[in-house]
Amino acid sequence: MDIPHNKQIKMLETMILSRKFSDTLVELCKIQGKIPGMMILSTGQEAVGSGVCAALEPEDVIITNHRSHNHLLAKGADPNELMAEIYCKKTGCNKGKSGTLHLAVPEVNAPCTTTVVGATLPIAVGRAFAQQYRNENAITVCFFGDGAADEGSFHEALNLAALWQLPVIFLCENNMYAGAQRYEEHTRVKDMAERAQAYNMPGIIADGNDALAVYTATLEARQRALEGKGPTLLECKTYRCRGHGETDPQHYQPKDEIKAWQDKCPIPRLADALVKAGIIPSSKLEEMESIADNIVQDAVRFAEESPYPEPHEALEDVYVD
Amino acid sequence: MQKLGMGQAVNQALKEEMYRDPNVFIAGEGVGVSIHVNPMFPTHGLLEEFGPARVKDTPVSEAAIAGLAVGAAEAGLRPVVEIMFNPFFTLASDMIVNHAAKLRYLSGGKSSFPLVVRIKSGAGFGAGCQHSHNLEAWAAHCPGLKVVMPSTSADAKGLLKSAIRDDNPVIFIEHMGLYFAQMPVPEEEYLTPLGHADIKRPGRDLTVVTWSGTLGAAMNAAEQLSRDGIEMEVVDLRTLNPLDKETILGSVEKTGRLIVMHEATRTAGFGAEVAAVVMEEGFKFLKAPLKRVTGPDIPVPASPPLEKFYIPDENDLIKAAREILDK
Ligand SMILES: Cc1ncc(C[n+]2csc(CCOP(=O)(O)OP(=O)(O)O)c2C)c(N)n1
C-alpha cells in the first residue's frame, strides 16, 4: 500500500514526541514528590498508538487503558493539559481528578481511559453501537493488553460486537507481559488473534514495532467496519521495554530480551525508512527531535507553573447539576 | 517483640497456616512472581517457600479467581485468594456475592465454603478512584459473608489465621497504608477471634468506633484530646460482620457519646449500620446525637490536595468530638 508521505511523517513525529514525553516522565519520577501516584509508560510500544491513530479520522473514537499516554498524544490530545493532569494540577485535562491513570480527552474523541483491566472492550462496544445507531461514518478502537484478553469482558464484548456487526477494532497491544507474567504464562493460545475465530471475526496480526504495518492493518479494519462488515481483532506484537510501572524492577524480564527489543526500537526503524525512501532528509530528524523537546519542555513548564486544585474542588463534578 | 508492617504480618499468618494445613493454598494476580518485590508486601517469598503448586499466579481474571476459590472450597480446600485493589472486587463479586455467600444456604447447610478473599484497599496513593474505593459496606451487606478489616499488624496476623480456619467465606480487607508502619506482633502462635471488637484506648467522655486505616487518626485524636482533659474511648471494630454490638453498646453506655469514623464514603457506609444499632439498642445511653466522620460522598480524587480533603483525619475527628461535647 502507498502510504501518503504526510501520514508517514506524522507517525514519526508522534512517536518522537511520545518517547520524549515518557523519557521526561521517567526523569520527573526520580525527583521525590514531583509526580504523585503511579507511573505507567509505554516506552518501546510507540508504533502502536501512532500507527493506529494515523489511520483514524478525528471523528473516530479511541477508548484506552492504563498505558494511555502514547495513544492520547497520537490522537491529538494537548500535551500541556496531559502533563498538567499527570502532575495532578488544576489546569490538567481532568482538573486533578484523574492524575496519570484515567485521562479523559473527549475533545479529541478519546473520552475514556479506564484502568480496570479489560474494561475498554465493553465500553467500546457501546461507543460503536452509538455510531452504528446514528449511522455515523466513524468507528471505535479500543486498546487493551494481552493480559486483558483473559478477563471475561473480552469475550463478552467480542461476542456482542460480532453478533451486531459493530464498527469496532479490538486492538490488542501484546507487549509480551501482563504485570510480572509472561505471555505464555497466562494463556495457551499462540496468538491472541486466534481467539477471533471463536466469534467469527477476522483476527489479524501486525508487527507492533512497525508503525507502517500497524497503520495499514488499522486502515483495512476501519474500512471493513465502515462497510458494515463488523469488528476486527487486531493484535499488534510489541514489547514493554520498561517495567509495568516505574517502581517495577523488571526482575522477571531477561536483560538480553530487553536489549534485543530495544535494538528493534520502532522510532529509528521508521526514521531510517523515511530517509532511505527520500521522504525526509536525514537533517530533518534533528529538527523533529528539537520540536518534540520544546513541546515537552513547554508542557512541563506549564504543569509546574500551574496551581493545584483547591481542596474543596474535590466535591465538584460528581453529578451533572 | 518483633515489629512488622501489616503486609509482613499477613505474610507470617499465611506462612504459618500453609505449614499447618496442606489444604491452604493462595492464588491471585502476582501473588507469586510480583511486580511488587517489596518485602513489605503480603505474599513476598511464599512462592519460593511453598512452590507453584500452592502459590498460584493467575491470569488477570477476577471472576475466575473468585470462582476458583468457591469451587475449591466446596471440595474441602482452603483457598486464600487475592484481589489486587478493592475496586476490582466488582469483577469478582458475582462469585462472592451470588455464590460464596449463598451456596451454603441454598444447599440447606450441606455444603460449606471455607475461603478467604484478601483485598487490598485504601486511599492515600494518588492513584485515583479506580484503585482507591473502600467497598466494605457492600460485602458487609451480604448475609453469608464475614468481613474483617484489621487496623494493626498484630490483629491482622491473628485475624487472618482465624479467617483461614473459619468454615465460612471471609472477606479480609487490608488497608495498604498500614503495610509500612512497623508495629509489635507476638512471635508465638495466636488466633484473634472474628467478631470481637477491641478497645484500643479506654476513655470516659465519648466513644469513637472505627476500623482499618482511620484507627491511627483516632488514636492521635484521642491523645490530643486527652491533653485537654477529654478522654475518648477508641473502639476498633476489627470485624464488621459479625458485628460486636456488645462492645459498642458497652462503650456507649459508659461514655454516653458516639462518633463513628471511617474512610469510606458516608451515604450507606458501614457507619450508618453502627449508628442504627446504637439508636435501636442504646438510645437511652446517649447524652447527645451521635456523629459520623467519614469520607465525603465523592469518588477518591488523584490530586494530592483533593485526596487529602477526601481522607478523614484527626482534625476532623477532634472537631466532631468538641462539637458533640459542646466544648
Ligand atoms: C480488573 C483489574 N485487575 C487487575 C488490575 C491490576 N493491573 C493493572 S495493569 C495489569 C496488567 C495488565 O496487563 P496487560 O493487559 O497485558 O496490559 P499491559 O500492562 O501489559 O499494557 C494488572 C493486573 C487492574 N488494573 N484491573
* Global ipTM: 0.95
Nearest Cα neighbor of A270 from A24, A21, A23, A48 is A48
Crossing angle of helices A46-54 and A266-276, in 10° steps, is 50
Show which of residues 243-262 on chain A sit within 8 Å of chain B, judged by CB atoms.
243-245, 247-249, 251-252
Spatial separation of the C-alpha atoms in residues A8 and B312, rounded to whole Å: 52
* Residues facing residue B323 across a β-bridge: none
Nearest Cα neighbor of B208 from B256, B254, B246, B261 is B261
Handedness of CA B3, B6, B12, B13 (dihedral sign): positive
Task: Give the mean pLDDT of chain A.
Answer: 97
Spatial separation of the C-alpha atoms in residues A218 and B273, rounded to whole Å: 53
Contact residues, chain B to chain A, C-beta under 8 Å:
29-30, 33-37, 57, 59-64, 87-88, 91, 125-131, 296-299, 301-310
| Residue-by-residue DSSP string for B223-280 | HHHHHTT--EEEEE--EEETT-HHHHHHHHHHHS-EEEEEEEESTT-HHHHHHHHHHH
Q: What is the largest CA-CA distance in chain A?
A: 57
- CB nearest B130 (choices: A115, A187, A309): A115
* Residues facing residue B206 across a β-bridge: B232
- Residue-wise pLDDT tens digits, A24-33: 999 999 998 8
CB B232 within 8 A of CB B205: yes
What pLDDT does residue A36 have? 85
CB B310 within 8 A of CB B274: no
**Shortest distance, CA A204 to any CA of chain B (angstroms):** 23
Show which of residues 160-189 on chain A sit within 8 Å of chain B, judged by CB atoms.
178-181, 185-187
Average pLDDT over residues B65-84: 98
The single residue listed with the C-alpha cell 498460584 is B56
What pLDDT does residue A164 have? 98
Spatial separation of the C-alpha atoms in residues A108 and A143, rounded to whole Å: 16
User: How many CB pairs lie under 8 A apart between chains A and B?
Assistant: 128
Average pLDDT over residues A139-157: 98
B131 catalytic? Reply is: yes
pLDDT at B39 > cutoff 90: yes
- Residue-wise pLDDT tens digits, A246-269: 999 999 999 999 999 999 999 999
Angle at CA of residue B56, ends B54 and B57, nearest 5°: 160
Asked if B57's CB is within 8 angstroms of A318's CB, the reply is: no
Average pLDDT over residues B103-115: 97
Distances (CA, A) of B111 to B75, B101, B108, B165, B168: 9, 12, 8, 16, 10
CA-derived radius of gyration, chain A: 19
pLDDT > 90 in chain B, percent: 99
pLDDT at A198 > cutoff 90: yes
- Higher-scoring residue by pLDDT: B36, A274: A274
Average pLDDT over residues B115-143: 96
CB A223 within 8 A of CB A137: no
Task: Give the mean pLDDT of chain B.
Answer: 97
pLDDT > 70 in chain A, percent: 100
Average pLDDT over residues A113-139: 98
Prior bond of B150 cis (ω within 30°): no
3-state SS, residue B184: strand
The residue whose CA has the least distance to atom 21 of ligand 1 is A145
pLDDT at A1 > cutoff 80: no
Pocket test for ligand 1, best of A117, A144, A146 (most atoms within 8 A of CB): A117
Spatial separation of the C-alpha atoms in residues B67 and B78, rounded to whole Å: 13
Average pLDDT over residues A166-187: 98
Distances (CA, A) of B313 to B221, B232, B309: 9, 16, 9
CB A279 within 8 A of CB A7: no
The residue whose CA has the least distance to atom 19 of ligand 1 is A178
Average pLDDT over residues A27-56: 95
Average pLDDT over residues B22-36: 97
Spatial separation of the C-alpha atoms in residues B176 and A105, rounded to whole Å: 30
Asked if A180's CB is within 8 angstroms of B33's CB, the reply is: yes
Lookup: cell for B84: 489486587
Per annotation, catalytic residue among B131, B133, B175, B262: B131
What pLDDT does residue B271 have? 98
What pLDDT does residue A33 have? 86
B268: left (phi over 0), alpha (psi -120 to 50) or beta: left
Nearest Cα neighbor of B128 from B269, B304, B309, B316 is B304
Average pLDDT over residues B71-75: 98
What pLDDT does residue B134 have? 96
Burial readout B45-58 (b: 16 or more C-beta within 10 A, e: otherwise)? ebbeebeeebbbbb
Distance B71 CA to ligand 1 centre (A): 25
Distances (CA, A) of B83 to A114, B30, B43: 18, 10, 12
What pLDDT does residue A287 have? 97
pTM here?
0.97
- Residue-wise pLDDT tens digits, B220-239: 999 999 999 999 999 999 99
**Shortest distance, CA A288 to any CA of chain B (angstroms):** 33
Nearest Cα neighbor of A49 from A82, A91, A94, A26 is A82
Confidence of residue B35 (pLDDT cuts 50, 70, 90): very high
Confidence of residue A37 (pLDDT cuts 50, 70, 90): confident
Half-sphere exposure of A24 (CA within 13 A, CB side): 22
Average pLDDT over residues B95-106: 98
pLDDT at A278 > cutoff 90: yes
Average pLDDT over residues A311-315: 98
Give chain A positions within 8 Å (CB) of B61. 150-152
What pLDDT does residue B123 have? 94
CB B293 within 8 A of CB B325: no
